[in-house]
């Protein structure tokens, strides 16, 4: 019989309802009887003891709120009777000793990936088109129509005829009026397109940050080469991108084709040149084949969105266990979303391998929170209406569950937005809690695959990296099967352990990384890209 309540850690003074409970229900829990004083939906929290006004609310072993009014044992916690509160962290209090999981069955595992000259290995093989400024979005869209529809034999367009002639080995200017199908297949390369609203009009720092992000996308092992469009007069000048590429890798050995419209004449002339040059690059990329690589080459983005009251006890800790295995074999998990680490800073500071990283983490957290407060907000306003409805009623409560995605391994590096992952082990990356902005940032920092936990459902994907969706509950997996890759509801039902579920997640990751399973987000064509704009518009 399924349990009705669960207490995550021994020191917690609240429990999570695993099923809907009715006022007056008597629940036997940890050797005592609890009488429900209110109707309580599954995923919400029940007080396990009488709480006075201003009493601390402890969950996951950390402070997640305080009582605004007296709360009786057996009553439900709501936004009316508790408020966000978290511990103040100023420095490291201890060094954490890590007991790594047993990796005997994983240390020699491989995936089939695309090997790059710099030693990185991709899970996909992408030729990427992107603009330096929003003024070029229209031209990117034209190129997208031309390449996608021609390579998939879609609707006719003038530039498609040019590309078709190239595919069929004819003179680029030859046009006999026929609409022949291509004779060459391009099933070993994906052609992807990014658009954005940046590159000009904001403060210079925004363009510099965007340049670093785009350089990270070029550097990402999933990218074989790139075509870049510039207008010419924008803030994000070509030299900014080139400098960012040099900073991220002085020896970058990857084709990057850059075009400046204001130096190229008519739109047709420019597009024709771009199509000819890019086709040659795509053709070369298509010749790259998958080969075995150690799973230590995986850089795994850890993301959550549309979280619910089960996320922190099923999907997130299961992903955290997979993260620990990957860290133990020399891979690079990446934990981001700094507003959703509020309340667990002490644990994370104590897990930093070196003191400089511990200090940098606190500096980035404090600067980010201060900027939010200066804008009239704050981390305490992070939970969304959906989060609150499904049991995450304070930011610290949400954060304590979200941080479980990072497992328990030591933190080897603290990175600011736009910085690239270079160290094996768990990396912390400063990003917003916004799903797409965070995922966009992790991929720009080198993630070649992302696992995204959700309790409510979200279709987020990425142009160059597979994004796997993990549901915290089976109801969601059955309601939205087209977006959910993995269901961890068996943990809630007590049918599987966190460790068993974590191993299943890692096994699925390896299959997707090898190309034997396609992520649901890729099946849906979900190519989301939103850079984090930190400054104001001018």
- Return the pLDDT at 154: 39
Please give the structure tokens belonging to residue 154. Answer: 């879609």
Question: What's the alpha-carbon Rg for the chain, to the nearest Å?
Answer: 25
- Return the pLDDT at 183: 54
pLDDT digits (tens, 9 = 90+) for 170-181: 766 655 544 344
Cα 353 to Cα 18, 95, 350, 462, distances in angstroms: 36, 8, 8, 31
Q: Is 352 or 184 the better-scoring residue by pLDDT?
A: 352
Cα 39 to Cα 71, 109, 488, distances in angstroms: 15, 48, 26
Q: Is 90 or 533 the better-scoring residue by pLDDT?
A: 533
Strand partners, 451: 302, 468
- Return the pLDDT at 172: 62
Q: Where are the alpha helices (DSSP H) in 83-200?
A: 137-151, 158-167
- Return the pLDDT at 123: 98
Least confident piece of the model among 87-101, 164-178, 333-347, 444-458: 164-178
Chain centroid to CA 131: how far?
A: 22
pLDDT above 80 for 161? no
Reference 201, options 231, 245, 241, 243; nearest CA is: 231
SS (H, E, C) 368-406: HHHHHHHCCCCHHHCCCHHHHHCCCCCHHHHHHHHHHHH
Of the chain, the percentage scoring pLDDT greater than 70 comes to 94
pLDDT digits (tens, 9 = 90+) for 23-71: 999 998 888 899 999 999 998 999 999 999 999 999 998 889 999 999 9
Contact assessment for residue 6 and residue 15, using Cβ atoms and an 8 Å cutoff: yes
pLDDT above 80 for 257? yes
Q: Is 370 or 302 the better-scoring residue by pLDDT?
A: 302
pLDDT above 80 for 160? no
pLDDT above 60 for 114? yes
């Amino acid at each position: 019989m399924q349990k009705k309540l669960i207490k995550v850690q021994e020191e917690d003074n609240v429990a999570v309802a695993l099923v809907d409970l009715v006022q007056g229900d008597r629940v036997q829990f940890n050797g005592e009887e609890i009488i429900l004083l209110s109707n309580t939906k599954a995923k919400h929290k029940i007080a396990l003891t009488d709480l006075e006004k201003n009493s601390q609310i402890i969950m996951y072993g950390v402070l997640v709120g305080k009582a605004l009014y007296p709360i009786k044992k057996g009553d439900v916690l709501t936004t009316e009777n508790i408020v966000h509160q978290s511990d103040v962290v100023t420095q490291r209090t201890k060094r954490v000793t890590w007991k790594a999981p047993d990796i005997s069955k994983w240390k020699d595992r491989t995936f089939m990936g695309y090997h790059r000259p710099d030693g990185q290995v991709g899970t996909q093989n992408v030729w990427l088109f992107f603009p330096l400024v929003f003024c070029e979005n229209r031209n990117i869209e034209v190129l997208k129509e031309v390449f996608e529809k021609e390579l998939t034999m879609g609707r006719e367009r003038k530039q498609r005829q040019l590309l078709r002639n190239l595919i069929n080995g004819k003179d680029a200017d030859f046009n006999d009026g026929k609409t022949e199908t291509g004779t060459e297949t391009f099933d070993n390369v994906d052609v992807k397109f990014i658009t954005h609203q940046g590159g000009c009009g904001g403060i210079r720092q925004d363009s510099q940050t965007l340049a670093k992000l785009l350089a990270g996308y070029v550097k990402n092992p999933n990218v074989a080469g790139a075509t870049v469009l510039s207008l010419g007069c924008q803030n994000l000048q070509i030299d900014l991108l080139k400098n960012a590429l040099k900073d991220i890798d002085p020896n970058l050995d990857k084709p990057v084709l850059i075009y400046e419209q204001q130096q190229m004449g008519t739109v047709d002339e420019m597009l024709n040149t771009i199509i000819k040059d890019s086709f040659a690059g795509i053709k070369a990329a298509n010749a790259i084949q998958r080969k075995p690589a150690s799973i230590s080459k995986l850089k795994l983005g850890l993301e959550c969105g549309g979280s619910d009251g089960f996320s922190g006890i099923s999907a997130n800790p299961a992903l955290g266990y997979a993260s620990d295995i990957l860290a133990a074999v020399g891979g690079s998990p990446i934990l981001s979303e700094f507003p959703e680490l509020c309340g667990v800073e002490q644990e994370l500071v104590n897990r930093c391998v070196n003191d400089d990283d511990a200090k940098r983490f606190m500096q980035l957290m404090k600067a980010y929170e201060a900027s939010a407060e200066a804008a009239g907000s704050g981390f305490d306003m992070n939970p969304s209406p959906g989060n609150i409805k499904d049991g995450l009623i304070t930011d610290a409560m949400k954060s304590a569950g979200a941080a479980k995605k990072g497992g328990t391994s030591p933190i080897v590096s603290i990175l600011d937005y736009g910085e690239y992952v270079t160290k094996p082990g768990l990396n912390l990356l400063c990003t917003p809690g916004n799903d797409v902005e965070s995922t966009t940032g992790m991929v720009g920092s080198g993630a070649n695959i992302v696992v995204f936990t959700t309790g409510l459902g979200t279709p987020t994907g990425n142009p160059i990296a597979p994004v796997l969706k993990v549901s915290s509950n089976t109801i969601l997996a059955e309601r939205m099967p087209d977006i959910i890759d993995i269901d961890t509801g068996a943990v809630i039902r007590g049918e599987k352990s966190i460790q068993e579920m974590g191993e299943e997640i890692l096994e699925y990751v390896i299959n997707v990384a090898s190309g034997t399973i396609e992520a649901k987000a890729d099946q849906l064509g979900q190519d989301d890209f939103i850079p984090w704009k930190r400054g104001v518009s001018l």
